[in-house]
A and B are shown apart, each in its own frame.
Chain A
Amino acid sequence: MRYLTDRKRAEGKGAGHSGTEHHWHMQVSAVGLALIVPTFLYVFGSALGGTHDEVLATFARPIPAILTGLVLVFGLLHFKNGAQIMIEDYWRGTTRKAALMFTTAFTYGLIATGLFALAKMAL
């Protein structure tokens, strides 16, 4: 028998002190991505291999630009949190910390670069 109440156990949000936030983020981003990725594949696949003018015209339109922006931001955040689990499974100590920092910085850098490119074409 445990003398802790359910409330007391929930208060610290478990050993990681972050509760189910990570898992919940993965579920929310998974559902969101499942809804937009098929259309993105069509938009990107159609644009790929076109002339430079065709590509500029595609991403000047609101739906391809917004859709690509959403897939980049939430796809890469979903990647960052998924890669975090892999890193935490396979590495420990300084290697783990360095890998997590690198993945986080790399992900945000890629998001910023993609958004810059989209903004330049769309505006």
Chain B
Amino acid sequence: MGGLRVACDEAEKETDMAEQTSGPGGVERPLSPHIQIYRWHIPMLTSILTRITGNALIVSAVLVVWWLLAAATSPEYYALADAVITSWLGDIVMTLSLWGIWYHFLAGLRHLYYDAGHGLDIPTAEKLGWGLLIGSVVLTVLTIIII
């Protein structure tokens, strides 16, 4: 969550400046940002996407295990599972899974880089975030071309 913390610090400074004169009861302290009017930052967005992709990949895992089990069971069951996974809906789910796995892959590498104490300044964190978003799409397209 390193990226999120960096983004929060930046936002807090902005909120702080706005709130200091108009805070309730003249309270001069950094107030919690209001989520609906929160300006989205790239490190914040990419940090949240890491959690979403990581947890959503359980859907892909269930489909893959089901497909394997079907292949191990009988030709008829395999035909059914394969038809579901390679249908148009299956294609959408598997393409999203592929993007999700590449995104989570790159985000995990960034996490390791953050954990080692690097890339935590805002300009670098912003660049790394864009790297995740663009890199994951590029890797997804490359994988589809290669396979």
Q: Which residues of A contact B (CB under 8 A)?
A: 27, 30-31, 33-34, 37-38, 41-42, 44-46, 48-49, 52, 55-56, 59, 68, 72, 75-76, 79, 82-83, 86, 110, 113-114, 116-118, 120-121
| Chain B residue with Cβ nearest A79 | B58
Chain B window 126-147, contacts with chain A (Cβ cutoff 8 Å), 1 for yes, 0 for no = 0000000000000000010011
* B55–A46 touching, CB < 8 Å: no
Stretch in B13-21, B23-31, B38-46, B70-78 with 4+ CB within 8 Å of A: B70-78
* A30–B111 touching, CB < 8 Å: yes
User: What residues of chain B lie closer than 8 Å to A49, measured between beta carbons?
Assistant: 82, 86
Contact residues of B: prevailing secondary structure: helix
* A48–B55 touching, CB < 8 Å: no
Contact residue among A31, A86, A117 (Cβ-Cβ distance under 8 Å from B65): A117
* B101–A121 touching, CB < 8 Å: no
Known: A41-B101, A83-B55. Contact between A56 and B71, CB under 8 A?
yes
Asked whether B92 is an interface residue with its Cβ less than 8 Å from the other chain, the reply is no
Asked whether B54 is an interface residue with its Cβ less than 8 Å from the other chain, the reply is yes
**In the complex, which of the residues A49, A56, A68, A86 has the most CB atoms of chain B within 10 Å of its own CB atom?**
A49
Contact residues of A: prevailing secondary structure: helix
* B61–A37 touching, CB < 8 Å: no
User: What residues of chain B lie closer than 8 Å to A48, measured between beta carbons?
Assistant: 67, 82, 85-86, 94
Asked whether B57 is an interface residue with its Cβ less than 8 Å from the other chain, the reply is yes
* B71–A79 touching, CB < 8 Å: no
* A76–B61 touching, CB < 8 Å: yes
Range of interface residues on B (Cβ < 8 Å): 20 to 34
Known: A45-B143, A52-B75. Contact between A27 and B86, CB under 8 A?
no
Besides A31-B112, A49-B86, 6 more A-B contacts (Cβ < 8 Å) are A34-B108, A37-B101, A41-B143, A52-B71, A79-B58, A114-B65
Q: Give Cα A113 to B64, complex, Å.
A: 11
Known: A52-B79, A83-B55, A86-B55. Contact between A117 and B101, CB under 8 A?
no
B83 to chain A, nearest CB (A): 10
**In the complex, which of the residues B67, B69, B108 has the most CB atoms of chain A within 10 Å of its own CB atom?**
B108
* A52–B78 touching, CB < 8 Å: yes
User: What residues of chain A lie closer than 8 Å to B98, measured between beta carbons?
Assistant: 41, 45
Q: Give Cα A83 to B143, complex, Å.
A: 27
User: What residues of chain A lie closer than 8 Å to B82, measured between beta carbons?
Assistant: 48-49
User: What residues of chain A lie closer than 8 Å to B79, measured between beta carbons?
Assistant: 52
Q: Give Cα A69 to B75, complex, Å.
A: 22
